[in-house]
A = this chain, B = another copy of it.
Amino acid sequence: MSETESLKKRISELESEVEKLRAGHEKSVVRQKITEMSSEVVDSNPYSRLMALKGMGIVDNYEEIRNHCVAIVGIGGVGSVTAEMLTRCGIGKLLLFDYDKVELANMNRLFFQPHQSGLSKVDAAEKTLSGINPDVCFECHNYNITTVDNFQHFMDRLHKGGMIEGKKVDLVLSCVDNFEARMAINTACNELRQNWIESGVSENAVSGHIQFVTPGESACFACAPPLIVATQTDEKTLKRDGVCAASLPTTMAVVAGLLVQNALKYLLKFGKVSDYVGYNALLDFFPTMSMKPNSDCTDSFCRGNQKYFAENVRTTQIEEEQVQKQEISTENEWGIELVSDSAGAVDSEDRHVTQGIVKAYTVEKSHEDTGNSVGDTSDVSLEELINQMKNV
């Protein structure tokens, strides 16, 4: 064989090798972008089961989900599943914030896979999610929102990074695992008068909660911190001390499910958005409650929002709620069970925390009790609470 022939043979071998490798890369089906959401019932339509919510009388306007933008802060055990649910639901845009890397130690929770170890959580998430649904627009920020510079940028993106650049996001979901980050989200949302939903799971992995915050209307994180947050430490602090917080994919998926379900109800205006839902996994007990803001809140934006709410929002909202209740009560044909709004919930005006909820810690009162903050049961022991419940 001449040198030329031998070189040509080598080229031909390499070309066929490249072809083979490329074929392996090409996934049998790649999900193409879809211009318009359709209700058509065919195997190839990824939106048929969602658009069916219209036919079932649950949501009037499912396709409007494409006009909404949600910011998710924390892409860990709860946040990653939250992002996946919203992606599969066809949300318009997601802003993802996290500064952590994927590790094998995360594999006991859903979403991330071993081959993503070492990648930043936001980049790994975007890659997987855009393969699942390329119709969603992603904006990722691989930084810690609690440093001064990053906080300003974070707040700017909540304010201007919405569906149309310059408009604010529609909802912020907090999926962080530490007190400082929750406080940063709270501060930003108070200043921007931005609705958000806080979520959390306990260090022992068997309880969790979601809490909807409407600045001015409901208690903010500085008025009364979220309940069932075992300590103010995060995973990294614990790990440094050789202690390790427990976590379960079950608890995190339940919390993410409740979080996104309430986000969908809020964005698409169906059902009732809950103020607070707790989850006690040992007993399958789900406490609910409402909390009014504290007129002595240390956050001045919160106090300002309370005044704004009192002056502008209350009347409109009462009217809206009445309309919504009427709408819900006409849905019986689908066999949906309805209960009174007050079932299981105790308004904070009763000045007692709902039975079964334990407060993480008590907020110090700078002035005399105004009657707006949660209080009164902070000194009651667990045993006494249990006894009280037995007598109900």
Contact = CB atoms under 8 A, between A and B. Distances in A.
Nearest to A17: B18
A304 B159 CA distance: 66
Interface residues of A, number: 126
Nearest to A254: B257
A115 B131 contact: yes
Contacts of A262: 284
Interface in A283-312: 283-288
Contacts of A8: 7
A75 to B, nearest CB: 16
Interface in A7-58: 7-8, 10-11, 14-15, 17-18, 21-22, 24-25, 27-31, 39, 41-50, 52-53, 55-58
A264 B92 CA distance: 37
Copies per assembly: 2
Given A7-B11, A107-B132, A253-B81, A56 B261 contact: no
A112 B103 CA distance: 22
A56 B246 contact: yes
A91 B124 CA distance: 26
A144 to B, nearest CB: 18
Interface stretch (A162-170, A214-222, A329-337): A329-337
Interface string A88-125: 11100000000000011101111001111111000000
A339 B206 contact: no
